């Protein structure tokens, strides 16, 4: 397999069909990229993947369960959000359809199936939460950790900004492709980077790549419940000894920058990089810098473990 080769496949791991892609030379160190809520692997900008491969890495991408070409778990019941909120206010426990730990185990099982004993893990948003759990529960598999626009799950951190919450709570005007396209474009505009707005052409192509890969309302809700009902990782992160980099934008209205700061403060010796004017996306203008940050972090941690 040469540096330009892409493998797109699916495999049953942890009882779930998980779709994945491998880019680059399998003899090179592997970067595992895990994306966020309702975002299939095409949510990673192609420019990022190309730059990682050009920097000497094999890149492993996956569709988390319930998104993209991975298995839709529609046999699992979905409690209503108002009912969940009411029970939480009453101090009663809620059982989500599955937990972030289950999604983390999907990743571990995929690594087992691909015979990848150790990887450099990069997670964005919910993917950052899964990456953190991977580092917490399977530190021997994680050579380095990069957590991007994510959080520790500590409940007293700032919540989602009002205009973003209202947009996310809306539904597409119609169930057809155009209705869904318009909804997701609006969503990415409101959570995007104020100082680096995406062009209409770029955003249309970006959203189309994700819709073509696969996004469903029920799958999104199950993932959302896993996030909402997750326990704080703050104390567990404090026990990590894995080299860690935290990246966040100071204009992130979906996951406040306080979440990134809390993550960096929780992990011993973690490096924190805050981008001015960046929201909850990967602006085209910042991709080269973000890739350079991650590559520099990974390159300093390529050697054998002590």
Ranges of each domain in the chain: 6-299
Residue range 114-128: mean pLDDT, rounded? 98
CA 61 to CA 30: how far, in whole Å?
A: 10
Residue range 124-144: mean pLDDT, rounded? 98
Q: Among the ranges 168-177, 226-235, 278-287, which has the highest mean pLDDT value?
A: 278-287
Encode the chain in three state secondary structure.
CCCCCEEEEEEEECCEEEEEEEECCCCCCEEEEECCCCCCHHHCCHHHHHHHHHCCCEEEEECCCCCCCCCCCCCCCCCCHHHHHHHHHCCCCCCCCCCHHHHHHHHHHHHHHCCCCCEEEEEECHHHHHHHHHHHHCHHHEEEEEEECCCCCCCCCCCCCHHHHHHHHCCCCCCCHHHHHHHHHHHHHHHCCCCCCCCHHHHHHHHHHHHHHCCCHHHHHHHHHHHHCCCCCHHHHCCCCCCEEEEEECCCCCCCHHHHHHHHHHCCCCEEEEECCCCCCCCHHHHHHHHHHHHHHHHCCCCCCC
Residue range 103-129: mean pLDDT, rounded? 98
Average pLDDT, the chain: 93
pLDDT at 302: 75
pLDDT at 74: 94
Residue range 127-142: mean pLDDT, rounded? 98
Superfamily of domain 6-299: Alpha/Beta hydrolase fold, catalytic domain (3.40.50.1820)
pTM of the entire predicted model: 0.94
Model confidence at 305, in pLDDT bands (50, 70, 90)? low
Residue range 4-23: mean pLDDT, rounded? 92
């Amino acid at each position: 397999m040469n540096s330009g080769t892409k493998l797109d496949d699916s495999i049953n791991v942890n009882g779930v069909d998980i779709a994945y892609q491998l880019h680059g030379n399998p003899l090179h160190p592997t970067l595992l990229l895990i994306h966020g809520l309702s975002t299939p692997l095409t949510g990673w900008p192609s420019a990022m993947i190309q730059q990682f491969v050009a920097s000497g890495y094999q890149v492993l991408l996956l569709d988390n369960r319930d998104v993209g070409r991975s298995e839709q778990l529609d046999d699992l019941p979905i409690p209503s959000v108002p009912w969940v909120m009411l029970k939480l206010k009453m101090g009663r426990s809620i059982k989500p359809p599955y937990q972030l730990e289950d999604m983390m185990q999907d990743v571990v099982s995929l690594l087992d199936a691909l015979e990848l004993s150790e990887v450099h893990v990069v997670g964005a948003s919910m993917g950052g939460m899964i990456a953190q759990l991977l580092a917490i529960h399977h530190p021997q598999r994680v050579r380095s950790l990069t957590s991007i626009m994510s959080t520790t799950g500590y409940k007293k951190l700032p919540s989602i900004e009002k205009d973003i919450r209202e947009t996310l709570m809306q539904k597409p005007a119609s169930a057809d492709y155009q209705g869904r396209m318009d909804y997701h474009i609006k969503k990415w505009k409101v959570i995007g980077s104020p100082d680096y707005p995406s062009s209409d052409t770029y955003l249309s192509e970006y959203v189309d790549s994700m819709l073509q890969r696969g996004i469903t309302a029920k799958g999104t809700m199950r993932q959302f419940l896993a996030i909402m009902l997750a326990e704080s990782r703050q104390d567990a992160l404090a026990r990590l000894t894995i080299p860690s980099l935290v990246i966040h934008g100071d204009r992130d209205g979906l996951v406040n920058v306080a979440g990134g700061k809390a993550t960096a403060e929780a992990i011993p010796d973690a490096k924190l990089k805050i981008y001015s004017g960046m929201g909850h996306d990967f602006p085209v203008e910042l991709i080269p810098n973000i890739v350079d940050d991650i590559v520099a972090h990974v390159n300093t941690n390529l050697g054998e473990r002590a």
